[in-house]
Amino acid sequence: MKLIPLLDLEHVTMKFGGLTAVNDVSLKVYPRDLVAIIGPNGAGKTTLFNTITGIYTPTSGSVSLDQKNLKNSKSSAITELGIARTFQNIRLFKNLSVIDNIKLAKHTRIQYGFWSGIFRTKRFHQEENKIEEECLKLLALFKLDDKKDYLAKNLAYGQQRKLEMARALATEPKLLLLDEPAAGMNPTETRELTELIHLIRDQFNIAVILIEHDMKLVMGLAEKIFVLDYGNLIAEGSPAEIQNNKRVIEAYLGVEIEVNS
């Protein structure tokens, strides 16, 4: 008997009109897991993330976090329960400073009331100082502390990706979803990223799911891999198992057809 799953997807199906983007997917992720979801373009990976984070409500099936069903929970409530994510195409608050981007992510964790903020009470100052300290620590971890007053839009591309991860972590999640974190990064940055994701898992004690096309990153990082193809979960297992799985190879490279006369 293993642990209780942190994230539990049961027969999740997501349809858009006649298109089935995710078809009857069941998977479990346990605390401190480091898993990857891979699959060809259009396989439904991001849609799956969107169903987990409440942007879409699944057509059928259920998503649970810590055995709590997330059906009918708003995106914002799901964040509060402990799922954070980054986006495939970066979605930072471009015109806010780096530190404000992170501070905002602390929104659901801040312990002072509205009027406390308006009248700037002692409690407000205490909480804000505490938050500021935490945010700076987080930025230091991502080597962004010297850029804290830069506007987010003025950061280099790789730094923007890092900032988005830092911001997701600032919400104090139990589960972190990374949507193509290595997209557009050079080999050095990708190597750094691998170390960083390991560091995040170990330091924050959280589970990480990543969607990624960079197979070197996935095979070196993930302990378990789920493979999606046309919305179906076609394989799951360790990197070694996945590399030798016939269905996975077919999904990526196509099927060999015998051509006889």
Partner 1 sequence: MDYYLQILLIVGIFITLTLSLNLINGYCGQFSLGHAGFWGAGAYASAIYSSFYALPVSTPINMAIACLVGFLAAALCGIIIGVPCLRLKGDYLAIATLGFGEIVRIIIMNTELVGGPRGFINIPHWANIYWIYAVALVVIVFMINLKRSTYGRAIISIREDEIAAENMGVNLFRYKLFSFIVGAGIAGVAGALFAHTQQFLHPSNFNFMWSVIILVMVILGGQGSVTGSVIGAIVLTIFPEVLRFIGGHASDWRMPIYSVLLIVLMLARPQGIFGAHEFSLSKGRKS
Q: Which residues contact partner 1 (rule: CB under 8 A)?
A: 53, 55, 74-77, 79-80, 84-85, 87, 91-97, 100, 103-108, 110, 112, 114, 117-120, 124, 149, 167, 171
Q: Is 64 helix (H, G, I), strand (E, B) or coil?
A: strand
Shortest distance (Å) from residue 164 CB to partner 1: 9
Shortest distance (Å) from residue 32 CB to partner 1: 23
| Closer of 117 and 237 to partner 1 (Cβ) | 117
- H or E segment to which residue 48 belongs: helix 45-52
Residue 182 phi/psi, 5-degree rounding, is -95, 0
| Closer of 26 and 76 to partner 1 (Cβ) | 76
CB 228 within 8 A of CB 37: yes
Nearest 10 degrees: Cα torsion 168, 178, 35, 80: 30
Query: Any idea what the Cα angle at residue 163 is, between residues 162 and 165, rounded to 5°?
Result: 65
| Closer of 170 and 233 to partner 1 (Cβ) | 170
| Closer of 130 and 247 to partner 1 (Cβ) | 130
- H or E segment to which residue 15 belongs: strand 7-16
| Closer of 104 and 215 to partner 1 (Cβ) | 104
Shortest distance (Å) from residue 78 CB to partner 1: 9
Q: What is the DSSP letter of 17?
A: T
b/e map of 32-59 (b: 16 or more CB within 10 Å)?
A: bbbbbbbbeeebbbbbbbbbbbbebebe
- The CA distance from 234 to 101, in Å, is 38
Shortest distance (Å) from residue 30 CB to partner 1: 23
CB 12 within 8 A of CB 48: yes
Shortest distance (Å) from residue 232 CB to partner 1: 27
Shortest distance (Å) from residue 131 CB to partner 1: 8
| Closer of 108 and 205 to partner 1 (Cβ) | 108
b/e map of 16-27 (b: 16 or more CB within 10 Å)?
A: eeeebbbbebeb
Structure tokens at 143: 């080597």
| Closer of 43 and 52 to partner 1 (Cβ) | 52
Shortest distance (Å) from residue 155 CB to partner 1: 15
